[in-house]
C-alpha cells in the first residue's frame, strides 16, 4: 500500500533541518515515547514479499486507531514524511531504504465483523483472512480474491481483483484518516474505483470498509476458493519472492503475452528473473537486489516497446527510488 505524506519541502523552516534529519529526529522521539510500537532502522526486506529493500528510519505499529492518530499528528507537526505499508506484496523498495517513518496497521485495524450480509473489515486484515471469514459465514461475493496477497487497505487503494471481479464492486463505505490525523468516511461510489486504481483514495490512509455481500453456502464457497487457488498455482510462480503482477494489462492486450512474445521469459539480471511460468512475474530467483529487479523491469519495458510500440505501465509501486530512476520506467526514453 503506497501512500506518502504530502510534505515535499527539503527544509523545515522552524528547525533548519533537512528532510532526512527531520525524519531521524522524529523517529528517535517516537521511539522514546512508544518503545513497544517503534523500531528504528528497520530493514524493509523483512516486510516485503520481494524480500529486498533497505532500512526505514523507523517502523511504527500502533496498537489502536487513537494511537495511530496521535503519532500521525506528531509526524505532521514535525513535517516528517510517512509511508503506509500493508503486507508489502505490491512494492519494490530501494536497496538504500527510505528516509520515512513507515506505518503498519496490522494491529490497530485488524477487526472483521458482520451483520446480516454487511461485512466490516479493517485495513490491516489480510485479504486471505477476509475471504475465509466470508466463507465461514456463508457470505459470497469475494471468493474470486482467494490467493490475492496483501491487506484490505492495499486492496482498496488499488481496487484489487482477479478473474471475475474487483473489491470495489462490493464496497459501500470506507473509513479513512488524513495525514493530519483527521477521521473521515466516504461512500464507495465516491472512491473513484477503476481498473487497478481508486483515484480518490490515494491521499488518504485506509482504516477499514463495509462490504455488501450476498448469501452463499460454505461448501460452494470453499469449492470456489480452492478452484481459484488451483488456477493461481498452475499459472503463477508461487515458490519465489515476487510482487505479483509487475505490469498492468494494456487495453485490449495481456502484459504477460506481450512479454513472452518479446522473448523475455527466463531473462535474468543478477538474481532477478522473468518467470518462465508467467511472464508478468519478475521473481527473486537467487538473492536478487532491488536494483536487479528494477533494471530487469526497465529492460522488459524496452524490449516490448521495441517490438509492439506499447510501453508497459507499472502495477508494482516503487518506494525510495529517485525521480530520475522513476522517469526511466514511467515513459519511453
Catalytic residue among 2, 65, 196, 218: 196
Confidence (pLDDT) at 332: 87
**245 is a catalytic site residue:** yes
CA distance 226 to 128: 12
Active-site position among 21, 67, 313, 315: 315
CA 93 – CA 44 distance, rounded (Å):
7
Could you confirm whether 315 is annotated as catalytic?
yes
Q: What would be the CATH architecture of the domain defined by 112-234? A: 2-Layer Sandwich (3.30)
Q: How many CB atoms lie within 10 A of CB 286?
A: 12
* Range 11-104 classified under CATH 1.20.120.160: no
**Is there a common fold for 11-104 and 237-330?**
no
Domain 237-330 matching CATH 3.90.1150.10: the answer reads no
Verify whether residue 196 is a known catalytic residue.
yes
Helix (H) or strand (E) holding 71: helix 65-78
Of 87, 245, 260, 275, the catalytic one is 245
Question: Would you list the domain boundaries of the chain?
Answer: 11-104, 112-234, 237-330
> Does residue 82 sit in helix, strand or coil?
strand
- What does the pLDDT profile of the chain (333 residues) look like in tens digits? 434 443 333 344 445 678 899 999 999 999 999 999 999 999 999 999 999 999 999 999 999 999 999 999 999 999 999 999 999 999 999 999 999 999 999 999 999 999 999 999 999 999 999 999 999 999 999 998 998 889 999 999 999 988 788 999 999 999 999 999 999 999 999 999 998 899 999 999 999 999 999 999 999 999 999 998 898 888 889 899 999 999 999 999 999 999 999 999 999 999 999 999 999 999 999 999 999 999 999 999 999 999 999 999 999 999 999 999 999 999 887
Residue 64 half-sphere exposure toward CB, CA atoms < 13 A: 4
Amino acid at each position: 500500500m503506497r501512500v506518502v505524506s504530502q510534505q515535499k519541502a527539503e527544509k523545515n523552516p522552524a528547525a533548519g533541518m533537512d528532510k532526512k534529519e527531520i525524519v531521524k529526529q522524529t523517529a528517535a522521539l517516537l521511539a522514546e515515547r512508544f518503545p513497544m510500537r517503534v523500531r528504528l532502522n528497520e530493514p524493509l526486506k523483512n516486510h516485503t514479499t520481494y524480500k529486498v529493500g533497505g532500512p526505514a528510519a523507523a517502523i511504527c505499529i500502533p496498537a489502536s486507531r487513537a494511537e495511530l492518530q496521535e503519532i500521525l499528528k506528531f509526524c505532521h507537526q514535525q513535517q516528517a514524511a510517512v509511508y503506509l505499508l500493508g503486507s508489502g506484496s505490491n512494492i519494490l523498495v530501494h536497496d538504500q531504504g527510505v528516509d520515512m517513518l513507515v506505518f503498519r496497521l496490522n494491529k490497530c485495524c485488524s477487526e472483521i465483523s458482520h451483520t446480516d450480509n454487511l461485512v466490516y473489515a479493517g485495513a490491516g486484515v489480510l485479504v486471505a483472512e477476509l475471504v475465509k471469514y466470508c466463507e465461514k459465514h456463508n457470505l459470497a461475493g469475494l471468493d474470486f480474491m482467494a490467493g490475492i496477497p496483501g491487506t484490505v487497505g492495499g486492496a482498496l487503494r488499488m481496487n484489487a481483483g482477479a478473474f471475475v471481479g474487483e473489491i470495489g464492486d462490493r464496497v459501500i463505505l470506507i473509513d479513512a484518516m488524513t495525514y493530519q490525523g483527521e477521521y473521515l468516511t466516504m461512500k464507495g461510489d465516491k472512491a473513484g474505483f477503476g481498473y487497478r486504481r481508486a483515484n480518490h483514495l490515494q491521499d488518504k490512509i485506509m482504516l477499514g470498509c463495509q462490504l455488501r455481500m450476498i448469501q452463499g453456502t460454505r461448501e460452494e464457497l470453499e469449492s470456489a476458493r480452492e478452484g481459484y487457488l488451483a488456477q493461481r498455482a498452475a499459472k503463477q510462480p508461487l515458490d519465489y519472492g515476487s510482487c505479483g503482477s509487475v505490469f498492468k494489462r494494456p487495453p485490449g492486450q495481456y502484459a504477460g503475452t506481450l512479454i513472452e512474445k518479446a522473448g523475455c521469459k527466463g531473462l535474468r539480471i543478477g538474481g532477478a528473473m522473468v518467470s518462465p511460468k508467467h511472464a508478468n512475474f519478475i521473481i527473486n530467483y537467487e538473492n536478487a537486489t532491488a536494483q536487479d529487479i528494477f533494471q530487469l523491469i526497465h529492460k522488459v519495458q524496452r524490449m516490448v516497446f521495441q517490438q509492439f510500440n506499447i510501453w508497459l505501465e507499472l502495477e508494482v509501486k516503487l518506494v525510495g527510488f529517485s525521480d530520475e530512476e522513476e522517469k526511466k520506467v514511467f515513459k519511453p526514453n
